[in-house]
A and B are shown apart, each in its own frame.
Chain A
Amino acid sequence: MNQIDRVDNAVKLKSVATGFDLTRVREDFPVLCQQPHGRRLVFLDSAASAQKPRPVIDAVRHCYEAEYANVHRGVYWLSERATEAFDGAREKVRSFVNAPKASEIVFVRGATEGINLVASSYGGTFLDAGDEVIVSHMEHHSNIVPWQFLRDQRGIVLKVAPINDDGELILDKFEAMLGSRTKLVAITHVANALGTILPVKDICHMARSRGIRVLVDGCQAVPHASVDIQDLGCDFYVFSGHKLYGPSGVGVLYARQELLELMPPYQGGGEMIESVTFDKTDYAAPPYKFEAGTPNIAGVIGLGAAIDYVRSIGLDQISAHESDVLGYGIRHLAEIDGLRLIGEARERAGVISFVLDNVHAHDVGTILDQEGIAVRTGHHCAQPVMDRFGVTSTVRASIGMYNGRDDIDALATGLKRVKDIFG
């Protein structure tokens, strides 16, 4: 099969979403009306961090203007309003990922902190020397390094599930790795450097039927498709608010109630206690047990607004629209002479990663920037998967709900310019 055929098969092209109004969506994102270097801003870096729609910006402003006070503490009117908005956001998150209980939603700084919390609190308590943690070959550094800490501190064994040349997890090899010492699988839902969607439901089933816990890194999944945690069957699920059109500095850890009950607190301080004397402290019930200190109040409220916004557009609509743009992008970029796609998984979302013959990704990025096009260049905090493909860096164009086929066309034109300059 030639490459074009290969690509057409690889992407399940859904028809352009009916009722998805790209122009209107774009109008909701104030940042997009800027003109870097006098060009229309073509923002193709949402996988690093997404732009914010007006309702999120308004919600954060409203929080500070009208209902800001510390939460869960004051008895006065303002504090009550802040607490209500804050707790309301927790319920929005619960419903967004269909978690059974709001108490299973722990607010953290981001996915990174969520994974570190699990590694430190769960891993530090329930994993012993010789116990195995399995990650995939295409994890973000934040789902590698915390397990290495645990390896160095507690002598656990970190194992890596292999991927094929298309950037897909080799499922039978993964299953064969699950043994009597395997205690935890920590795996990404969608790979940030390649866009591969992993068969997380199958993975959870394979692991949990053997009594193995599963942590899913959902950073790159939740912005693109609806996620049902109960359907997936995972034990832990983490994601960052800023990739879901919400503020930075806030993220979510979902964990099963019974695990949260068993796990010791991650940090100590206010908010996470029931009573403190110098002899002894009784911890609050989850989720507060894991939320020491004053939380990111406006961030949490902004995240709630982001979820409302995404749901008002509709995740199915967003999914359909984005797969149209992604499929269009893959087909068009694959036609460019000397361009090699990195990662050609059949099931994918949001990301096109590629290299150009004889031109370094950084040079591509600088030239595209002059055309108003923002792409990510580098190793995308996923160096092991870069090594797997024999590259040190790629150009990554990633897609958010505000991207259209016109952005892909701009990118293709920009790449022509790169080739002109580099001859």
Chain B
Amino acid sequence: MSDLRELYQEIILDHNRSPRNFGAPDQSNRTAKGYNPLCGDIVTVYLLLEGNVVQDIRFEGKGCAISIASASIMTELIVGKTEIEARRLFQFFHDFVTGEETVEFSEELEELTALSGVRDFPMRVKCATLAWHSMAAALDGDGAAVATE
């Protein structure tokens, strides 16, 4: 049972109920769609890239609590980052939820630890990383949809 409480922490439920930076923006210049064939969920990530910096990031879509919360937290962390920093963060997050590396959290990234429960639910890793894959694809800028499989 404690695993479940760990997975569905209050922070996760809160982001799920009221996702931040949700909905298509008026202005964006990079977007990508992420698709989870397992459940049919789709998330679209919109970036406003100025120079090398992500000035704005928003998302929309349907998904489980894990994917919505992860997307929501991601938007908070990515805004204001350079392209390189954003990609580095994705790699960091990926390593963290797949449990391949022990990672250290700076204070800034602390909110990400709310997703640590996912490590005990390997089948849900795809949910947690869907929006991140889309964000990276948006940075790549070829506009192709990504799938988590």
| A residues whose Cβ falls under 8 Å from a Cβ of B | 358-363, 366-367, 370, 377-379, 383, 386, 392-393, 421-423
Contact = CB atoms under 8 A, between A and B. Distances in A.
Interface in B10-45: 13, 17, 38-42
A360 B12 CA distance: 13
Interface string B81-116: 000000000000000000000000000000000000
A421 B66 CA distance: 13
B64 A360 contact: yes
A392 B39 contact: yes
B135 interface: no
Contacts of A370: 1, 3-4
Nearest to A423: B13
Interface in B25-83: 38-42, 62-66
Given A386-B40, A393-B40, A422-B8, A363 B3 contact: no
B interface bracket (residues with beta carbon within 8 Å of A): 20 to 34
B127 interface: yes
Closest 5 CB pairs of A and B: A360-B64, A362-B64, A379-B40, A392-B40, A378-B39
Contacts of A361: 39, 64
Given A362-B124, A363-B66, A370-B3, A379 B8 contact: no
Given A361-B39, A392-B40, 15 more contacts: A359-B65, A360-B39, A360-B64, A362-B66, A366-B121, A366-B124, A370-B3, A370-B4, A378-B39, A379-B39, A383-B40, A392-B41, A393-B40, A421-B4, A421-B13
A392 B63 CA distance: 9
B116 to A, nearest CB: 15
A91 B64 CA distance: 47
B68 to A, nearest CB: 8
A179 B42 CA distance: 38
A215 B124 CA distance: 38
B7 interface: yes
Contacts of B7: 366
Contacts of A386: 40
A358 B8 CA distance: 14
A423 B123 CA distance: 24
A393 to B, nearest CB: 5
Nearest to B3: A370
A423 B18 CA distance: 14
A370 B4 CA distance: 8
A423 B63 CA distance: 18
A359 B40 CA distance: 15
Contacts of B65: 359-360, 363, 422
Given A367-B4, A422-B13, A378 B40 contact: yes
A264 B69 CA distance: 54
B8 A363 contact: yes
Contacts of A393: 39-41
A377 B39 contact: yes
